């Protein structure tokens, strides 16, 4: 008989139950459901256990070099933060998290460092981060949007004005990437439509294997055309620096529908 997970932390706040559960060497953060928001291998806290987090690293394939300044909107258990701090010793990471209790949980249960010289945590609404002057190290080489709550995708960070601000705070060249869920069709279509609106010719998608998640990527420095797809030599080189197989990630990247080259192809064929 399958052994149940052990609940090691539980908190109910404003109608939402936040739990930290542990089973067979795996510790996970959940928000009011059995869906895992973040997971950590106790034997390897810096490992990206959930598939979506590994697929987000596909964004690195579009950068000419490893990022030095990274901004994360949404903390969760801190998996992405720990990965970057551990494997990219030259980078500085900034995180925006709305709920201070999530920061405490990440520190107490998921090995997020409480004091790290290359980590800055901002408490506040991610959608207002730029407009309130919160950015300290802009421009950023990489901006990652990964904000979920008990209701699913936090749609406020996928509105065109905020996405445009992300582009404005990028280094040249820099990348914006987002984790979205296709589980709620309405939220997904809204996020995708806003992404196309904000980055009409620069959008890529990476469907996450065997998952409802997808990763949206924007490359404002070049259009989403076949000749700008990452190549195998790039994937192999990146795999020498980071403990990930980038070839399968590269093969899942596709331009988002209605980007520049697809509109040209449709016009030629019509």
Would residue 147 count as lying in a domain? yes
* Average pLDDT of span 3-14: 86
The confidence score (pLDDT) of residue 137 equals 55
**β-sheet bridge partners, residue 217:** 177, 204
CATH number of the CATH domain containing 60: 3.40.50.150
Question: Among the options 108, 146, 233, 254, which is catalytic?
Answer: 146
Would residue 32 count as lying in a domain? no
The confidence score (pLDDT) of residue 270 equals 46
Mean pLDDT of the chain: 89
Residue 103 or residue 148, greater confidence: 103
Would residue 12 count as lying in a domain? no
Tell me how far CA of residue 90 lies from CA of 93, 94, 118, in angstroms: 10, 14, 9
Q: Could you tell me the pLDDT band of residue 264, with boundaries at 50, 70 and 90?
A: low
Q: Tell me the residue range of the domain where 209 lies.
A: 50-269
Is residue 108 annotated as part of the catalytic site, yes or no? no
Assess whether pLDDT exceeds 80 at residue 160: yes
Helix (H), strand (E) at residue 165? helix 160-168
């Amino acid at each position: 008989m399958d052994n149940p997970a052990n609940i090691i932390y539980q908190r109910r706040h404003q109608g939402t139950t936040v739990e930290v559960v542990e089973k067979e060497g795996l510790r996970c953060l959940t928000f009011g459901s059995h869906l895992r928001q973040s997971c950590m291998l106790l034997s390897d806290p810096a490992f990206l256990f959930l598939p979506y987090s590994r697929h987000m690293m596909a964004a690195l394939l579009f950068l000419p070099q490893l990022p030095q300044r990274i901004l994360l909107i949404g903390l969760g258990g801190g998996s992405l933060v720990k990965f970057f701090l551990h494997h990219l010793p030259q980078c500085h990471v900034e995180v925006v998290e709305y709920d201070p209790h999530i920061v405490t949980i990440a520190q107490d249960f998921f090995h997020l460092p409480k004091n790290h010289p290359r980590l800055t945590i901002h408490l506040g609404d991610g959608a207002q981060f730029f407009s309130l002057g919160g950015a300290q190290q802009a421009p950023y080489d990489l901006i990652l949007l990964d904000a979920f709550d008990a209701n699913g995708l936090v749609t406020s960070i996928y509105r065109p004005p905020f996405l445009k601000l992300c582009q404005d705070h990028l280094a040249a060249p820099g990348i914006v990437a987002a984790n979205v869920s296709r589980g709620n069709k309405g939220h997904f279509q809204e996020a995708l439509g806003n992404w196309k609106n904000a980055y009409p010719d620069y959008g890529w998608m990476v469907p996450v294997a065997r998952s409802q998640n997808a990763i949206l990527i924007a490359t404002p420095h070049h259009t989403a055309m076949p000749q700008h797809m990452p190549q195998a030599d790039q994937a192999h080189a990146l795999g020498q620096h980071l403990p990930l197989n980038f070839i399968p990630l590269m093969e899942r990247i596709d331009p988002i529908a209605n980007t520049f080259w697809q509109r040209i192809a449709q016009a030629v064929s019509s």
